[in-house]
Structure 1
Amino acid sequence: MKMLLDKMKPPRSKLPLSIVAVVVCAFTFIGALYIEDAGYLNFKAKSCSKQEPTPHSHESKRVEQNVSSSVEDDLLEDVDGDGKEGFDPDSCRVYRGKWVFNASVEPLYSDTSCPYLDRQVSCVKNGRPDSDYRYWEWQPDNCILPRFDPIGALEKLRGKRLMFVGDSLQRGQWESLICMVESSIPADQKSMRRGRSHSVFKAKEYNASIEFYWAPFLVESNSDLHIKPDPNDRILRVDSVFKHAKYWVGVDILVFNSYVWWMSGLKIKSLWGSFANGEDGYEELDAPVAYRIALKTWANWVDSTIDPNKTRLFFTTLSPTHMRSVDWHNKKGIRCYNETQPVMEKNFWGTGSDRRIMDVVTSVAERMKVPVSFINITQISNYRKDGHASVYTETQGEVLTDEQKADPLRYADCIHWCLPGVPDTWNRVFYAYL
């Protein structure tokens, strides 16, 4: 921008300060629109002022920072030798950084020690022979991400209900968090109740619950409970969340997500009105269009129902898929199969992350009255082609057979993540914002 301004010829007479301010703001805004940065989900335009910026001015404040501008003392760390600052949600760009291999720090659990993991994500149980994927640690460029403290997390949840709402990837984050804290709770002080749509883990001593509610589209659909395997059979009621939302009332911390189910086809069958009136009156909409309508429905419910003084609202950004090995220049690869290391290319962005969906989330959240904090895991996870369940998973309730494992083109799951693994880092970020 400075080069552009330098090339502008000075006028013969001085321009009024207000005009100069407008010109500067215009260039700033145009520059922001063209920044190819995976962290752009956090963009929020600054208002332009005639006053000179102070030395303490920050770059554009992020939507995810609206919930709070302070952090508990125990999350703050001193500046280290590399000049990194302690974690501050107003300045730490968590999404910018790198994965560093650290075999000295053991995961807080394993898929054999935690009794609450689904077999779908229990990769070691399912025969995965390598283990390096469990020891990669995310390090932001400009700050120190606090280590996850199980007791600290439970204390922050004391007397509260925390609910994850969304799809199976959100369920993975829920299971990850439970496994990260459950070993710190005596056996007689914890319980789990699994339901078809609503599951509840309780830490009795802390009077806290960590819950999951299944709503893959957030809005109602004919695939909420009895899943339609063929995406072409799925129909969404894009104007209603009430059937689901009645379970969200009274929760202290809500964490939503919704992405991968929207990407299963180019068109989404969208319905207005009750399913009881028939499913023939649907309209086929482009996925981003249907997503925007549905997310506005969700946002309207939040703004009309949620009291931000009583409930904190989070949104986990899209979890990328790794279906095309050519994305990371492995032309002979088969999806994420046999990938054992992260992508090391800075700012790597694969075809499994749809910017149009991210744009919808940003634009809708910016207009909401209730502040939304983003758990911005997209760029972090984009690098982790090695962390997926691949062929070490199950299908239709059964672990893949040797014959199925030998056919990764058909059976490799490059959507879900092994646990322990990448979702533990998502929860480390979430913990920092708690």
Structure 2
Amino acid sequence: MGVEMGKQKKIFVKIVACLILMGVAYRLYLSIIIPSSSSPQFIAHYSPPAPLPQLPTPPHPHPHTTSSPGSCDIFTGEWVRDPTGPPYTNTTCDTIEHHQNCMKNGRPDSDYIYWRWTPRDCNLPKFDPKTFLTFMRNKSMAFIGDSISRNHVQSLLCILSQVERPVEVYHDKEYRSKRWFFHTHNFTLSVIWSPFLTEAKIFEDYDGHASGAVRLHLDQPHSEWVNQFGKFDYVEIAAGKWFLKTAVYYENSTIVGCHNCKIENVTELEFDYAYRRALQTTLGFITKSDHKVYTLFQTTTPDHFENGEWNTGGYCNRTVPFEEGETELRDIDSIMRNVELEEFKKAVGDTNGSTLKLFDTTRLALLRPDGHPGPYRAFHPFEGKDPSAKVQNDCLHWCLPGPIDSWNDLLINILLTE
């Protein structure tokens, strides 16, 4: 009887052991055939690129972005059709300025909103407003620059407002500098009007008609943003097109030259001299400041005026993006870009503990001649007029929604990889 019981116990132990081994093998099998789920992996971003001779096709990918495995430049790619469209409309966002509200102003086509920037060799996740607001909880961010910076902030606000509606808590007299507050996340977002980044006296109206030369102090960072700098955790700076304007240049409060001013005994200087000095002053202040701020430096945005400029009948009536090889930067934009890359490279090598990143949107912008307001910067511009009548076009800024929305995909990608 005892012998029989012993045999039964041995058989039972063998059965249990066999079941355990089968269970382990089955779990191992599942782990091989079913990949684990995880959140999207963002692309790493590091050091500055070397200057490129021209766009749109660079000889090598920019070495300032990478992903694992392999390397990837999120700023090199193409515009791909996206049938899902933008995350907002001109009716679900109430912060679009009228000059960029192309649909409300009567633009008849809408294909331009169904494209999304796609890097050549890696995945770029779409901007997630919840993730961004969580990341920015208890922080402050400012966009410092000209109307392109303001255009970008409007796009960002439109996307974020689908999750939380911000409260406008400040605007200047001309509504060019503004500040918004997201109560739930204790997040402050600002746009600061500073088209030269340094101190300047400007004599022109809102539509760009000048009554005198700009007085530009190249060695003094603009007090409008400098006085608030200590409050910011993140800043994005951008400049460019305003340096083409007629201006008198000052350093140490003394005239050192001018651009297109035709003043007797004043040295004529090219615009890139002033642009370089202004960037040196701005980047020098940021990188040497005791207050360490994460800074994005945005490259120049080319315009798409054809057969004239903004004030000489130029227009932009294309309805699809360019493909690589169809266009290239004009000389002026190439000069600006080279200055930007050179000065960025110098500054990033001497940051004194600050974080400085290149936000290289030049190529993205170059390939989108279809995304501008054109004549629809104004409300129904041809209503009651002869169809052949000439109206002012905007071929620099972007319709909202529009191509500039993709810049936010790049923005969050860079921030979340740090």
* TM-score normalised over the length of structure 2: 0.74
Deviations 1:139-175 (A, max 9, x none): 1110111111010111111111010000001100011
Aligned partners of 1:38 and 1:379 also within 8 Å: yes
1:342-353 residue pairs with structure 2 within 5 A? 342-346=321-325, 348-351=327-330
Distance 1:355 1:95, change over 3 A: same
Instruction: Supply the AA of the counterpart residue of 1:256.
Output: I
Q: Indicate yes or no: 2:216 matched with 1:236.
A: yes
Partner of 1:163: 142
Change in 2 beyond 3 A, CA 1:352/1:284: closer
Residue range with higher mean Cα deviation, 87-96 or 129-138: 87-96
Query: Which residue is 1:257 aligned to?
Result: 238
Shift of 1:252: 0.3
For residues 173-184 of structure 1, the aligned pairs below 5 Å read: 173-184=152-163
1:34: Cα distance to partner? 7.5
Where 1:359 maps in the other structure, the secondary structure is helix
Change over 3 Å in CA distance of 1:385–1:194 after alignment to 2 = same
Rate the CA distance shift 1:238–1:410 in 2: closer, same or farther, 3 A.
farther
Letter in 2 for 1:174: V
The answer for the alignment partner of 1:98 in structure 2 is 78
2:171 corresponds in structure 1 to 194
Q: Distance in 2 between matches of 1:113 and 1:33?
A: 41
Secondary structure class of the residue paired with 1:416? coil
Task: Determine if contact 2:196/2:239 at 8 Å carries over to the other structure.
Answer: yes
Amino acid at match of 2:372: H
Question: How much does 1:203 deviate?
Answer: 0.8
Q: Distance in 1 between matches of 2:385 and 2:151?
A: 23
Task: Give the alignment's Cα RMSD to 1 decimal.
Answer: 3.3
* Whole-angstrom CA distance in 2 between matches of 1:248 and 1:405: 50
Question: Once the 2 structures are TM-superposed, how far is the Cα of residue 354 of structure 1 from its aligned partner?
Answer: 1.2
Q: 1:357 to 1:36 in 2, by over 3 A?
A: closer
**Contact 2:296–2:356 (Cα < 8 Å) also in 1:** yes
Structure 2 CA distance, aligned partners of 1:314 and 1:89? 25
CA contact 1:237–1:272 (8 Å) conserved in 2: yes
Q: 2:364 — aligned with what?
A: 380
- Contact map agreement 1:163 1:251 (CA 8 A) in 2: yes
Aligned mates of 1:345, 1:113 — CA distance in 2: 34
Note closer, same or farther for the CA distance 1:362–1:88 as it changes in structure 2 (3 Å cut). Answer: farther
Q: Separation in 1 of the partners of 2:339 and 2:328?
A: 18
- Matched length: 346
Match of 1:294 among 273, 278, 295: 278
Q: Distance in 2 between matches of 1:114 and 1:198?
A: 19
Distance in 2, Cα, partners of 1:218 & 1:89: 39
Q: Contact 1:336–1:385 (CA<8 Å) still a contact in 2?
A: no
- SS of 1:133 mapped into structure 2: helix
For 1:169, what is the secondary structure of its paired residue? helix
Counterpart CA distance in 2 for 1:339 and 1:209 is 37
Contact 2:54 2:328 in 1 (8 A): no
**Separation in structure 2 between the aligned mates of residue 405 and residue 94 of structure 1, nearest angstrom:** 45
The Cα shift of 1:410 comes to 5.1
CA distance, structure 2, for counterparts of residue 90 and residue 375 of structure 1: 21
Within the candidate set 402, 410, 415, 2:383 is matched to 402
| CA drift at 1:231 | 7.8
Distance in 1, Cα, partners of 2:210 & 2:386: 23
Alignment correspondent of 1:204: 183
Q: Secondary structure at the match of 2:80?
A: strand
Unaligned runs of 5+ in 2: 1-49
Between the aligned partners of 2:99 and 2:381, the Cα distance in structure 1 is: 10
Question: What amino acid is aligned across from residue 293 of structure 2 in structure 1?
Answer: T
Q: Specify the code of the residue in structure 2 equivalent to 1:215.
A: S
* C-alpha distance in 2 between matches for 1:89 and 1:296: 36
Structure index of larger Rg: 2
Cα distance between partner residues in 1 of 2:399 and 2:99: 8
What is the CA distance between 1:347 and its match in structure 2? 6.9
Deviation at 1:111, TM superposition (A): 1.8
Distance 2:386 2:337 in 1: 33
**Residue aligning to 1:142:** 121
CA drift of 1:400 comes to 3.9
For the residue of structure 1 that corresponds to 2:395, the secondary structure is: strand
**CA shift in 2, pair 1:282/1:134, >3 Å:** farther
Secondary structure at 1:162's aligned position in 2? strand
Distance in 1 between residues matched to 2:187 and 2:399, nearest whole Å: 26
Aligned residue identity for 2:126: R
Q: Does 1:389 align with 2:373?
A: yes
Does 350-359 or 106-115 show the bigger shift? Answer: 350-359
Structure 1 Cα separation of the partners of residues 155 and 305 of structure 2: 23
Query: Which sections of structure 1, spanning at least 5 residues, go unmatched?
Result: 1-31, 44-58, 70-86, 327-333
1:213 aligns with 2:192: yes
* C-alpha distance in 1 between matches for 2:364 and 2:275: 23
1:77-128 CA distance string (max 9 Å, x none): xxxxxxxxxx56993212221111122x131111222111110100011111
